[in-house]
Amino acid sequence: MRESISVFFPAYNDEHTIGGLVRETLAFLPELTDDYEVIGVNDGSRDGTGAILEQLRSEFPGRFRVVTHQTNRGYGGALQSGFAAARKDLVFYTDGDGQYDPSELRSLLQLMGPLVGCVNGFKLDRSDPWHRIAIGFLYNKFARFIFAIQLRDIDCDFRLIRRSLLEDVALNCTSGTVCVELVKKLELCPYLVEEVGVHHYPRRYGRSQFFRLRSLVTTLFQLLSLYTSLVLLPQVTGRDARSV
């Protein structure tokens, strides 16, 4: 029997892309499972994102739901709300800005075996301006080193996770640091984490929130706090999935 799937999109000022992503996802999900849902997390958007999500809810009753933050809670806050809202066996998320193709969920699902807790995408070729590629490369190398993370691409927000694991993984970060927190805590769980390459496309609208000065300062502060809790004063220990 095929496992049920929750898909959610964290969205902040994504009025130009979120509608197409949701409709495309609802079109291909019946190929993968008989039991599915799609959720849009509106993280305090100031454009027409909220109105588009409400229209989609009317268009796809019973299949599409909306979680709304009246004020922006940050990327970590949006992920926490999406995970909390998900009801199905497997939870997949990717960003609402259209830089990933949600149909590549098929590739992740193929690797989701009984001992696998998460399948993480990695960017085959990053389609961003050179300065974002450089900063992202250094951030990824630095975070993987200090947190001893095995995954090659921490900030590839294209993940399929068992909901049963998410019930035991408490996320605290509200900035983009949440990706480091999530990946590290998943690697500490008693399940395998697999990887598969996915395509990354240029951003056609808007700009990344992560690379703004205020976001970078918040990320640095939360990264240091996370290092203290997970590395200097670890509370959780993991086991090899083969011992399960």
- In this prediction, residue 135 has a pLDDT band, given cuts at 50, 70 and 90, of confident
Per-residue pLDDT at 84 exceeds 50: yes
pTM, rounded to two decimals:
0.88
Confidence at residue 85, expressed as pLDDT on a 0 to 100 scale: 97
Of the given ranges (35-49, 126-140, 178-192), which has the lowest mean pLDDT? 126-140
Q: CA-CA distance, 35 to 115, in Å (whole number)? A: 22
Per-residue pLDDT tens for 177-210?
899 999 999 999 999 999 999 999 988 876 655 5
> Higher confidence at residue 63 or residue 2?
63
Per-residue pLDDT at 74 exceeds 60: yes
Confidence at residue 244, expressed as pLDDT on a 0 to 100 scale: 38
Rounded to an integer, the average pLDDT of 220-241 is 69
Of the given ranges (63-72, 74-83, 162-171, 203-212), which has the lowest mean pLDDT? 203-212
Per-residue pLDDT tens for 96-116?
999 999 999 999 999 999 999
Mean pLDDT, the chain, whole residue set: 89
Per-residue pLDDT at 29 exceeds 90: yes
Confidence at residue 232, expressed as pLDDT on a 0 to 100 scale: 78
Confidence at residue 211, expressed as pLDDT on a 0 to 100 scale: 53
Per-residue pLDDT at 160 exceeds 80: yes
Other CB atoms within a 10 A radius of the CB of residue 67 amount to: 18
Domains of the chain: 5-233 (3.90.550.10)
Rounded to an integer, the average pLDDT of 132-148 is 87
> Higher confidence at residue 142 or residue 120?
120
Per-residue pLDDT at 175 exceeds 90: no
Q: CA-CA distance, 163 to 7, in Å (whole number)? A: 11
